Amino acid sequence: MQFLYSGLTSGSIYGLVALGFNIIYNTTGIINFAQGEFVMIGGMLIYTLFSVMGLPFPIAFFGAVGCAFLVGIVFERVFIRLTRIKNELNLITVTIAASIIIRDVAMHVWGRDSLPVKEFIPVFNIKMPGGVISSQSVLVILVSLAVAFGLNLFLKKSRYGKAMRASFDDPVAAETCGISVSTIRVMSFAVASLLGAVAGVIIAPIMFVTYDDGIMTGLKGFSAAILGGLGNFGAAIAGGLMLGIFESFSASVIPSGLKDAVAFLVILLILFVKPDGLFGKKKVHRV
Amino acid sequence: MLEVKSLYVSYGGVQALTNVSVHVKKGEFVSLIGSNGAGKTTLLNSIMNIVSKQKGSALFDGKDVTKKTTSNIVADGMALVPEGRRVFANMSVHENLEMGGFKRPASEVKQKLAEVTEMFPVLGERASQMAGMLSGGEQQMLAIARALMTNPRILLMDEPSMGLAPLVIKEVYEKLKVLASTGLTILLVEQNASVALKYAQRGYVLENGRIIMQGKASELLGDNEVKRAYLGKEYKEKWER
Ligand SMILES: Nc1ncnc2c1ncn2[C@@H]1O[C@H](COP(=O)(O)OP(=O)(O)OP(=O)(O)O)[C@@H](O)[C@H]1O
Ligand SMILES: [Mg+2]
């Protein structure tokens, strides 16, 4: 049971990162390889605002997440919009280049060392059936669930959320409704960056924050998205949780140094056996 | 109202439109007919800047729209009902209509919703159903209603009869007739020449990306060349009678 609890914690983070991948995949058809950097930026910003500047947590939280939202907008306006020929290969290459640039900038701003972030809430263990779970883990899980729920509400109920869904369905038809697909694309990067930053903030006190965290976080989130099936939000969360739990269980049977390899084994297995993901539908192409 | 002037469009070397000029006056119902691959969809898509032109222009109220984004052209008052309907399959009928009114003020959306559901009662009955579950005819009605939600002054229609049974085709065209009678300007492109010309005032014939004939719809319907090339089946029926 203990594995389950720690798996749910990291799984929630993977789920949020996978959601970010999905949003951008749905609006642009590409994998944004800088998604992990958005998570790192969230962690770094909360370090600066909360641990260094000592702002009250709520202010620091909204500050960090708000900045990340702007980073998402700038990211799209600079890297994606300026790419003249927006085919998948070019755009993916651009996101890889952008991720390296962000990482380098972060290294210059925050240095190479791993930075500790103060706890946001008192730390204590809660007794659960078959083990304990820390208050921090509970926070991570609850915030992730709340964010996923909020995203769902945004997409289902708000005017811009619905416009995003319309663009997922058919970008050309959305344009003929007066919906600017370019605006939707900016929004999707902003929202994906925000989701990443939330993940980065809430995990920060549990793990240290390092400038190159984004690589591994991004790849884990990507594995979760592939595991669930790209293009499906519910599946992203489920994929994240499953990957987290799977990783945590496997740590008990294989050397912990190999823990990171598990995610990539999962990718390979899925791509070999069920390429549309566990919950993915067969892709239907419109004619 | 709409004036397409010497439009050229090519897809990577394949010339799809050559020197196409078409005009539609305010309140007119104009049909452009042409067979498979003639360039009908290309014409409408290039007017809406969904595909980009090589040269030429499309003046809407005297202003060239071919450099604007599609969503801005829609905001100017030109709407397109695209080929194959392209409703948002994973959204409800109601949400599809809401999307049509995306750029319009809430009060207007409410009023327009009432108008289109009165015109297409089935959309009111199916409001909460996923659009992908509708029949082809219902989807066509939804696509038209969604375009009307943008409050257009001119409606471009791409092949509304595609894949529909004759009775349903008639139903769709009767709705267009009602819309035209309320003063909406319509430019329609069709393979189904007989029905398209029957409802229109004026017509054009597009062949291999060029306009080869134009005139009153009734005259085109009576033209021997048009009969031979585009009304073949019915023409034969007449002979057999
Ligand atoms: N995206 C594209 N890329 C390359 N060629 C295209 C593309 N779209 C259309 N074409 C070509 O341009 C020509 C005109 O096509 P278009 O779709 O405009 O014809 P259409 O009159 O609408 O035909 P249909 O009645 O089948 O809808 C055709 O030769 C077609 O093969
Ligand atoms: Mg066509």
> Least CB-CB distance to A172: which of B86, B100, B150?
B86
Residues of B in contact with A156 (CB under 8 A): none
The residues whose Cβ lies within 5 A of ligand 2, an ion, are B 40-41, 83
Interface test with B, best of A177, A187, A281 (most B CBs within 10 A): A177
Q: pLDDT, tens digit, for every residue of A160-195?
A: 999 999 999 999 999 999 999 999 999 999 999 999
What torsion do the CA atoms of A68, A73, A79, A85 make, to the nearest 10 degrees? 140
Contacts of B240 (CB under 8 A, 6+ apart): none
Quote the ligand 1 centre to A7 CA distance (angstroms).
Answer: 52
DSSP-H helix ranges across chain B: 40-47, 70-76, 93-100, 106-119, 121-125, 136-148, 166-181, 193-199, 217-222, 224-230, 232-240
Q: Is the residue at B192 inside a domain? A: yes
ipTM for this prediction: 0.89
> Is any ligand 1 atom within 6 A of the Cβ of residue B39?
yes
Residues of B in contact with A159 (CB under 8 A): 98, 102
Q: Does A119 touch chain B (CB under 8 A)?
A: no
Domain count, chain B: 1
Distances (CA, A) of B186 to A93, A109, B36, B181: 44, 59, 21, 11
Q: Is the residue at B194 inside a domain? A: yes
Give the strand pairing for B14-24 and B185-190.
unpaired
Contacts of A111 (CB under 8 A, 6+ apart): A211
Query: What's the pLDDT at A131?
Result: 85
Q: Smallest CA–CA separation between A285 and chain B, in Å?
A: 13
Q: Is the residue at B138 inside a domain? A: no
Query: What's the pLDDT at B232?
Result: 65
Quote the ligand 1 centre to B222 CA distance (angstroms).
Answer: 28
Average pLDDT, chain A: 89
Question: Is the Cβ–Cβ distance between A281 and A228 less than 8 Å?
Answer: no
CATH of the domain at B225: 3.40.50.300
Residue nearest to atom 7 of ligand 1 (CA): B11
Whether B74 sits inside 8 A of A177 (CB atoms) is yes
> Is any ligand 1 atom within 6 A of the Cβ of residue B41?
yes
Q: Is the residue at B169 inside a domain? A: no
The domain in which residue B211 lies consists of 1-77+152-159+182-241
Between B203 and A265, where is the model more confident?
B203
Query: What's the pLDDT at A279?
Result: 78
Residue nearest to atom 22 of ligand 1 (CA): B41
Query: What's the pLDDT at A281?
Result: 60
pTM comes to 0.87
Q: Is the residue at B211 inside a domain? A: yes
A209 φ/ψ angles, rounded to the nearest 5 degrees: -105, 130
Q: Does B100 touch chain A (CB under 8 A)?
A: yes
Quote the ligand 1 centre to B114 CA distance (angstroms).
Answer: 36
Whether B71 sits inside 8 A of A175 (CB atoms) is yes
Q: pLDDT, tens digit, for every residue of B209-240?
A: 999 999 999 889 888 888 887 776 555 555 54
CATH topology of domain A2-273: ABC transporter involved in vitamin B12 uptake, BtuC (1.10.3470)
Question: Is the Cβ–Cβ distance between B23 and B58 less than 8 Å?
Answer: no
Q: Is the residue at B205 inside a domain? A: yes
Q: Smallest CA–CA separation between B140 and chain A, in Å?
A: 13
- Interval B30-47 mean pLDDT: 94
Residues of B in contact with A166 (CB under 8 A): 88, 91, 95, 99
Quote the ligand 2 centre to A180 CA distance (angstroms).
Answer: 24
Query: What's the pLDDT at B234?
Result: 53
Q: Is the residue at B125 inside a domain? A: no
Q: pLDDT, tens digit, for every residue of A210-257?
A: 999 899 999 999 999 988 888 788 889 999 999 999 888 888 788 777
Q: pLDDT, tens digit, for every residue of A69-122?
A: 999 999 999 999 888 888 889 999 999 999 999 999 999 999 999 898 888 888
Percentage of chain A exceeding pLDDT 90? 61
Q: Is the residue at B24 inside a domain? A: yes
Query: What's the pLDDT at B17?
Result: 94
Residues of A in contact with B128 (CB under 8 A): none
- Three-state DSSP at A4 gives helix
